[in-house]
Amino acid sequence: MTVQKKTKLGILGVAKINNRVIPSFARTQFTELAAIASRSQEKANAAAKEANIPKAYGSYESLLKDPEIDIIYNPLPNHLHAEWTKKAADHGKHVICEKPLAPTAKEAEELVNYCAKKGVKLMDGFMWPHHPRTAKIKAMLKQGQIGDPLRVHGVFTFFMEDLECSNVRLYPEMGGGGLLDVGCYPIFGIRWAMESEPISVYAQAQYHRGVDVAMTGILNFADGRVASFDCGFTLPVRMGFEIVGSDGVLNIPNFWLPEQHAGFTIQRNGNLEHHHVPGFDQIALMHDHFSQAILNKTAVIPEAMEAVKTLRVLDALAKSARESRVIHL
């Protein structure tokens, strides 16, 4: 009987996102959740006990020193992403770092180059590219089923009831703000759909406590195509993505965090077509893709530089909103 090879993964921190991520390891084929670390041994022990994780460490450094750990999952606040990813790379660990890789494109590019020099793989924590629905939609776009994509609109908003709370999203020094937190999704999605980089952007934002809590903007492309987005913490939950082509319209609900049974529609020739994709856990698929890349010595998709390219657009949008002017890239 052949034993399935698996990587061993450790989690840095006991962040709330773990409540969504940890259950998916029960459905991974190539990734074993082997350890979790906190700055408090008590918190680490409690998290490990609740999720049945074999090892609990009372410091991040102790986890990084564990020779059995292959991968570090880094869901720390944005301003700590680069620092602890570099430290993980120093210990020869491959890293899945939550988005964004860093608060700015410059820092992210430095991080990508650092990991490359250390010989470790790096991937950001966008999960939607790994869901089979995403591949199916890309194939349909390549087949020209809605013609040439001409306009794209993406949204990711949710309502934060208390804008005076201690949520890390509301602290500028911690890389907070709606653009970095949820705006990165539609911006990456727009780049994915257009298969091109914008040449100029314009954005308007609402600010509170020094961070953008709502933003809307436009991205212009060299061939005349246009994309738009809005994001933030002041509106109900919306995660839609629309691609308007020369021959039809593709509409994708919950694009960024799809249900396991995900669907989308195509409107063309006066008809509305409903498409569905069988159930998948995109979090498990993301971790297994990364593990297989390590085990088989293959490329990570999307490659880490894609995150840098998205951050370049985010940097420009942030500057546009602050200065109330068009920014050329």
How many separate domains does the chain show? Answer: 2
Q: Which residues contact 60 (CB under 8 A, 6 or more apart)?
A: 12, 13, 37, 39, 84, 87
- pLDDT of 94: 98
**Strand spans (E) along the chain:** 7-12, 31-37, 55-57, 71-74, 94-97, 122-124, 149-159, 200-208, 211-220, 226-232, 234-238, 241-245, 249-252, 262-268, 271-277, 327-328
3 confidence band (pLDDT: 50, 70, 90): low
- pLDDT of 16: 81
Last residue of a domain, one of 62, 90, 125: 125
Q: How far, in whole angstroms, is CA 167 from its chain's centroid?
A: 19
CA gap 134, 219 in Å, rounded: 22
Same domain, 146 and 229: yes
pLDDT (tens digit per residue) in 38-81:
999 999 999 999 999 999 999 999 999 999 999 999 999 999 99
Average pLDDT, stretch 156-164?
Answer: 95
Same domain, 275 and 236: yes
CATH number for the domain that contains residue 42: 3.40.50.720
Same domain, 146 and 238: yes
pLDDT (tens digit per residue) in 96-125:
999 999 999 999 999 999 999 999 999 999
Same domain, 234 and 150: yes
Q: For residue 38, tell me if it sits in a domain.
A: yes
Distances (CA, A) of 277 to 77, 133, 190, 305: 33, 6, 22, 29
Last residue of a domain, one of 96, 125, 154: 125
Q: For residue 267, tell me if it sits in a domain.
A: yes
Same domain, 204 and 251: yes
Q: For residue 169, tell me if it sits in a domain.
A: yes
Q: For residue 174, tell me if it sits in a domain.
A: yes
Last residue of a domain, one of 91, 125, 159: 125
Same domain, 110 and 65: yes
Return the structure tokens found at 237.
């939950």
Same domain, 85 and 38: yes
- CA-angle at 310, arms to 162 and 193, nearest 5°: 105
Q: Is the dihedral of CA 236, 170, 124, 187 positive or negative?
A: positive
Same domain, 189 and 220: yes
Q: For residue 295, tell me if it sits in a domain.
A: no
Q: For residue 290, tell me if it sits in a domain.
A: no
Q: Which residues contact 73 (CB under 8 A, 6 or more apart)?
A: 9, 10, 11, 12, 21, 95, 96, 125, 287
Task: Judge whether 205 and 215 are in contact, CB under 8 Å.
Answer: yes
What is the DSSP track for 18-87? HHHHGGGGGG-SSEEEEEEE-SSHHHHHHHHHHHT-SEEESSHHHHHT-TT--EEEE-S-GGGHHHHHHH
Q: For residue 117, tell me if it sits in a domain.
A: yes
Average pLDDT, stretch 315-322?
Answer: 98
Same domain, 106 and 161: no
Residue type, 245: G
The whole domain housing 109 covers: 7-125
Same domain, 158 and 219: yes
pTM given for the model: 0.96
CA gap 133, 263 in Å, rounded: 7
The mean of the pLDDT values for the chain is 96
Same domain, 202 and 245: yes
Same domain, 17 and 137: no
Average pLDDT, stretch 33-42?
Answer: 97
CATH number for the domain that contains residue 221: 3.30.360.10
